[in-house]
């Protein structure tokens, strides 16, 4: 992406608009509860953790995991500053887009899934804080509300800041409708990649759909015992993200949906490829970390599903990235 285009509304120390200042404040403040909990847990506090929780079994491993997640959430504050300070305009496109893509992928399923889980619990009567009848509670119920509520605010604020920043800096890249795109904008390589990703997506999609419909084959014993309404909501959500990611990539690669604004398939590819790749990778990493309980050890099908999901997301992200790179080289720039 070109770096020469100035933003529509310049970001200066004196001229930062009130909405952007408010969004930046929300993004920063919404990180504090999560960062405070993580810091407390690293220091040895048990606030929010009930007696008997599996989180207390491996203190060193949990300290490392908490430190990593604390560092990741701290990046939200850094991104909020980059998107609202004048020096942020000098940050190379890839260096800004990649961490925002990661943040999008990690936050989007939470933003969509947590409200749906709350509705499902009201209808079904399940709770998310008890891991199942065979386990001790994982965390106190209030922790989930505080943490996920903060994540939703982070996603809304950071996403809005990025849209404002990107619209001013690179808005010409998604101007117009799909039918306005040059015939060769897809490129043979991008079409092949999009088709390969769509075909590969059939495997994790079928498995997730099977689990969402109540199937248990391929799940570990612990995962089968732990299923609540939350489990089914998330599995259904992963199915939706896989479908929408593949659709977005195919629309971009083959110039389908000609009447659609270019921003629609591009946004689908951005958000859904990130959600698919990041959560597939996160679950794969968590599965490979190992566990002392044989019932919790992931099956081969679980590992293959997570790895396949991650691969699909990365392939579709490359379709979107190549599309933007080509548009950056060919699309007319605003004066």
Tell me how far apart the alpha carbons of residues 135 and 146 are, in angstroms, rounded to a whole number. 23
Whole-structure pTM value? 0.89
Residue 4 has pLDDT above 50, yes or no: no
Q: What is the DSSP string of 298-331?
A: PPHHHHHHHHHHHHHHHHHHHHHHHHHHHHHHHS
Q: How many CA atoms lie within 13 A of 312 on its CB side?
A: 35
User: What is the average per-residue pLDDT within 50-59?
Assistant: 83
Tell me how far apart the alpha carbons of residues 299 and 224 are, in angstroms, rounded to a whole number. 12
Mind listing the pLDDT tens digit for each residue in 144-190? Answer: 999 999 999 999 999 999 999 999 999 988 988 887 776 655 578 88
Tell me how far apart the alpha carbons of residues 98 and 281 are, in angstroms, rounded to a whole number. 15
Q: What is the pLDDT of residue 134?
A: 47
Residue 56 has pLDDT above 90, yes or no: no
Tell me how far apart the alpha carbons of residues 235 and 180 are, in angstroms, rounded to a whole number. 37
Tell me how far apart the alpha carbons of residues 79 and 76 are, in angstroms, rounded to a whole number. 5
Percent with pLDDT over 90 in the chain: 67
Mind listing the pLDDT tens digit for each residue in 10-23? Answer: 454 445 789 999 99
CB atoms within 10 A of CB 45: 11
Q: What is the pLDDT of residue 68?
A: 92
Higher pLDDT pick, 1 / 16: 16
By the 8 A CB rule, do 87 and 16 touch?
no
Crossing angle for the helix pair 229-254 and 263-288, to the nearest 10 degrees: 130
Mind listing the pLDDT tens digit for each residue in 205-245? Answer: 999 999 999 999 999 998 998 899 999 999 999 999 999 99
Tell me how far apart the alpha carbons of residues 266 and 258 are, in angstroms, rounded to a whole number. 13
Q: What is the pLDDT of residue 176?
A: 87
Tell me how far apart the alpha carbons of residues 160 and 154 are, in angstroms, rounded to a whole number. 10
Q: Collect all residues with Cβ–Cβ distance below 8 Å to 16 and sequence separation of at least 6.
A: 84
CB atoms within 10 A of CB 311: 20
């Amino acid at each position: 992406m070109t770096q020469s285009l100035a933003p529509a509304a310049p970001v200066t120390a004196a001229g930062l608009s009130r909405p952007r200042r408010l969004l930046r404040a929300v993004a920063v403040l919404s990180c504090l509860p999560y960062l405070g909990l993580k810091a407390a847990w690293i220091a040895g506090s048990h606030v929010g953790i009930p007696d008997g929780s599996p989180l207390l079994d491996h203190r060193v491993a949990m300290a490392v995991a908490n430190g990593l997640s604390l560092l990741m959430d701290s990046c939200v504050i850094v991104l909020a500053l980059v998107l609202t300070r004048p020096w942020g305009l000098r940050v190379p496109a890839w260096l800004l887009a990649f961490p925002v893509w990661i943040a999008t992928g990690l936050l989007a399923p939470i933003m969509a899934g947590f409200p749906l889980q709350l509705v499902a619990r009201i209808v079904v009567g399940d709770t998310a804080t008890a891991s199942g009848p065979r386990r001790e509670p994982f965390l106190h119920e209030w922790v989930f509300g505080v943490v996920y509520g903060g994540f939703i605010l982070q996603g809304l604020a950071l996403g809005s800041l990025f849209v404002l920043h990107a619209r001013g800096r690179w808005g010409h890249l998604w101007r117009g409708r799909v039918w306005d795109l040059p015939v060769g904008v897809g490129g043979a390589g991008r079409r092949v990649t999009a088709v390969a990703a769509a075909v590969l997506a059939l495997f994790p999609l079928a498995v997730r759909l099977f689990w969402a419909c109540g199937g248990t084959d391929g799940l570990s014993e612990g995962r089968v015992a732990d299923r609540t309404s939350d489990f089914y909501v998330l599995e259904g959500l992963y199915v939706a993200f896989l479908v929408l990611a593949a659709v977005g990539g195919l629309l971009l690669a083959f110039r389908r949906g000609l009447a659609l604004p270019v921003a629609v398939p591009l946004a689908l590819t951005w958000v859904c490829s990130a959600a698919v790749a990041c959560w597939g990778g996160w679950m794969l990493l968590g599965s490979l970390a190992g566990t002392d309980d044989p019932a919790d050890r992931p099956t081969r099908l679980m590992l293959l599903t997570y790895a396949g999901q991650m691969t699909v997301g990365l392939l579709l992200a490359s379709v979107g990235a190549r599309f933007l790179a080509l548009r950056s080289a060919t699309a007319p720039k605003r004066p």
